[in-house]
Amino acid sequence: MTLLPQNGAVFQAKPIYLVAVLVAGLFFQTSLAQTQYEIPRTISKPTINGEIAAQEWDDALSINITVETEPGENLPAEVATEGLVMEDGETLYVAFIAEDPRPSQIRAFYRDRDLLWDDDWVAVILDTFNDERRAFEFYVNPLGVQADDIFDDVNQRRDEAWDAIWDSAGQVTDSGYFVEMAIPLKQLRFSPQDGPQTWGLNLLRYYPRDRETNLSVVPVDRNISCYLCQISKAEGFSDLEPGINVVAIPTLVAASTETRNPADGEWLGGEPDPQGSFDVRWGITQDTYLNATINP
């Protein structure tokens, strides 16, 4: 564009701002680019014992956790972590090889379920509907202790009351630790369809030392409000059929109470008083669950 001022001088305007906008837009698109993985199907079932036998995981896809997302923003990870992922049509298998230059500093304790947050841990995140709104999260510490929840990315909340039934094992080694998971697919909700499915997928590692460090497969842009929209995509899980998702948990508690007769010192009562209950969790559809407790 040429500008002609009143004094007759000629100026040529440079469209530098257009270049800046294009470069910024290209960078923004690149930062949002999502890696696409293909999850292999295996015909062999690995033994979940925390040992990661090489021949049992030969079919697995290898995914490296290479990015520090906290406290540094998308820096190279200071420790190496390899994830192994595969499925057999009924179960999702995930293993982690977490290297550590100072394995004596690994934090790992036998704890109650869902209370491992002060330990080292690794995790797999599964957006099974690929709607970038909610995800199932499975965590394991180096001794195999579990935690799980459903993450609501829209409201930034986690439902830690959700407990799936799955297997895990862990083992501390001279060079770090191993973790293995076996997650039955019937424990998850997903949309049945012919052919392969696409799920959101991320692998995480928590590395607490002189600072608390979160590691991820993908970088996380803190200026973007959604998290699940930034994680990788995984294709596989062909021709899955959701199972009859019913979990029944019976409970029996017996207690007795005794009182002492002050006249002769004899203890009275003491008959056991058994009390039972029955918890049922029924997946009516892939979107609707019914939880019920019977206390007779």
Measured between alpha carbons, how far is 177 from 142 in angstroms, rounded to an integer? 6
Number of other CB atoms surrounding residue 262 within 10 Å: 7
Are the CB atoms for 146 and 140 separated by under 8 Å? yes
For β-strands 91-99 and 273-283, DSSP reports them as unpaired
Are the CB atoms for 49 and 57 separated by under 8 Å? no
Number of other CB atoms surrounding residue 105 within 10 Å: 12
Secondary structure class of 157 (helix, strand, coil): strand
Dihedral angle, C-alpha 178, 43, 240, 60, nearest 10 °: 40
Are the CB atoms for 211 and 244 separated by under 8 Å? no
For β-strands 81-87 and 61-64, DSSP reports them as antiparallel
Q: Residue range 26-48: average pLDDT?
A: 76
Measured between alpha carbons, how far is 81 from 104 in angstroms, rounded to an integer? 17
The CATH code of the domain at 34-236 is 2.60.40.1190
AA identity, residue 173: T
Choice between 256 and 38, residue whose per-residue pLDDT is larger: 38
Domain positions in the chain are: 34-236, 246-294
Q: Residue range 166-191: average pLDDT?
A: 96
Q: Is the pLDDT of residue 150 over 80?
A: yes
| CA neighbor of 46 nearest in space, from 98, 97, 88, 89 | 88
pLDDT digits (tens, 9 = 90+) for 105-131: 999 999 999 999 999 999 999 999 999
Are the CB atoms for 151 and 245 separated by under 8 Å? no
Measured between alpha carbons, how far is 96 from 86 in angstroms, rounded to an integer? 12
Residues across the chain: 296
Q: Is the pLDDT of residue 285 over 70?
A: no
pLDDT bin (cut points 50, 70, 90) of residue 68 is very high
Number of other CB atoms surrounding residue 97 within 10 Å: 20
Please list, in sequence order, all residues whose beta carbon lies within 8 angstroms of the beta carbon of residue 239, skipping any fewer than 6 positions away. Answer: 89, 194, 195
pLDDT digits (tens, 9 = 90+) for 69-94: 999 999 999 999 999 999 999 999 99
Q: Residue range 262-282: average pLDDT?
A: 73
Please list, in sequence order, all residues whose beta carbon lies within 8 angstroms of the beta carbon of residue 101, skipping any fewer than 6 positions away. Answer: 79
What pLDDT sits at residue 56? 95
Q: Residue range 54-77: average pLDDT?
A: 97
